[in-house]
Structure 1
Amino acid sequence: MTNPATDFAQARRAMVDSQLRPQGVTDVAVLGAMAAVPREAFVPEGAVSFAYSDRSISIGEKGAMMPPTPLARLLTAAAPMPGDHALVVGAAPAYSAELLRHIGLTVSDDAAAGPFDFILVEGAVEVVPDVLIAALAEGGRIATALVEGGTTRLAVGHKLAGLVSWNRFADAEIIPLPGYGRAPVFTF
């Protein structure tokens, strides 16, 4: 009989070696965090067996957890640094927050506790709310998946002179985060 804890540890190692590294995740701190933090502890009970599959995990009406590879690619591109003050927003932000803590960031779940050096929006968004941009420190980074014209791309934004400029770097299948869509526009 196999020990379930051993199976999860093996699944974490396989995720790092077979999913993350081949997709260009090279940041030692990100790989170390993803190898150490037990993702299975953060997924809904009925989805524990899928904790390390590279797909979104539904959290019901709230949305979904981001798959491991796009999350790791966002973190690698954003380069969170120990000591950074961070905010994590999403349907199930606890796993991502724990990854950032493992890297050495101080993590908050309250946008009013800013300004933040790093903001992770865990999910696909059409619109990044002004309140998040306002909570981002000058020189800070924000990472998310931007939906533009039917395509979702992983992106990291940098705030300079009060504005965010985005670097879109990879297409990804990420479930939209409820409440972050564009307002409907009336047309004839």
Structure 2
Amino acid sequence: MDFAAARKVMVDSQVRVNDVTDRGLQAAMLAVPRERFCDPARAFSAYGEVEVEIAAGRRLMQAREVAKLIQALDPREGETALAVAAPYAAAVLARLGLTVTAQEAEAAVLDVVGPALSEAGVETAVASLSQPVGEGYDVVISEGAVAVRPEAWLAVLKVGGRLAVVERTGPNGRAVLYVKGREGVSRRELFDAAPPVLAEMTPAPAFAL
């Protein structure tokens, strides 16, 4: 399979047509080998409009949704980023000139995506997704959805930092952008999306008599 040609088709038919106008971002997505961020047996599906499995139940977010989240973050060269359950986004951000840490909960996921992340210059960490590594980030992004506002992720942002994530409690979800200010955190809804919800970012069921 000609993956370079598939990348161009992906950017032309899934990214540009969905209001992703940032040319630097488009170029980064043309350069990052998305097929290396999924189960090798599923590499042929990496450029389709599907959520391809990586490992241990984790899936890649669809390319158009990743692109729209990244564009909303307005990432700038030299900034720091934490990609939580977001290996492909991590590589794209690194290509844009950010210093990126990719965090996963399962070593099995990093077994698949680790080599490509290393080549992209991305640091990696295995830790509970509810406990982000490091602090003082300009940008946080996730390719998985969360069921509740991710307070722990917001806590590791510096003032002026941005978080892009999908919030989902049912069949449908909304991508949102949080911006951390000195007096609090603002929230803006972006677009509809429904990636799988990250199990660690789902509250435990509550029982009432």
Structure 1-normalised TM-score?
A: 0.89
Q: Do the aligned residues in 1 keep the contact of 2:24 with 2:96 (CA within 8 Å)?
A: yes
Counterpart selection for 1:173 from 189, 194, 204: 194
C-alpha offsets along residues 19-42 of structure 1, whole Å, 9 cap, x if unaligned?
Answer: 111111111121111111110111
Residue pairs, 1:141-152, within 5 angstroms: 141-148=162-169, 150-152=171-173
Alignment of 1:119-130 (within 5 A): 119-130=140-151
| Aligned length, in residue pairs | 181
Q: Do the aligned residues in 2 keep the contact of 1:138 with 1:162 (CA within 8 Å)?
A: no
SS at match of 1:22: helix
Cα shift at 1:149: 5.6
2:152 match: 131
Segment drifting more, 41-50 vs 154-163:
154-163
8 Å Cα contact 1:63/1:178 also seen in 2: no
Aligned to 1:56: 51
- Which residue of structure 1 lines up, in the alignment, with residue 94 of structure 2? 101
After superposition, give the CA deviation of every residue in 1:44-84 in whole Å (9 maximum; x if it has no partner).
11110101012111234342111101000101111111111
- Distance (Å, rounded) in 1 between the aligned partners of 2:171 and 2:46: 27
Matched, 1:34 2:25: no
Asked if residue 85 in structure 1 is aligned to residue 106 in structure 2, the reply is no
Q: Within 5 A, what are the aligned runs for 1:67-78?
A: 67-78=62-73
Pairwise CA distance, 1:162: 5.7
Q: Do structure 1's residue 187 and structure 2's residue 208 form an aligned pair?
A: yes
CA displacement at 1:155 relative to structure 2: 1.1
Question: In structure 2, which of residues 8, 13, 27 is the aligned counterpart of residue 13 of structure 1?
Answer: 8
- The answer on whether the counterparts of 2:37 and 2:54 sit within 8 Å (CA) in structure 1 is no
TM-score normalised by the chain length of structure 2: 0.80
Distance 1:150 1:13 in 2: 31
| More moved, 69-78 vs 125-134 | 125-134
**Root-mean-square deviation over aligned CA pairs:** 1.7
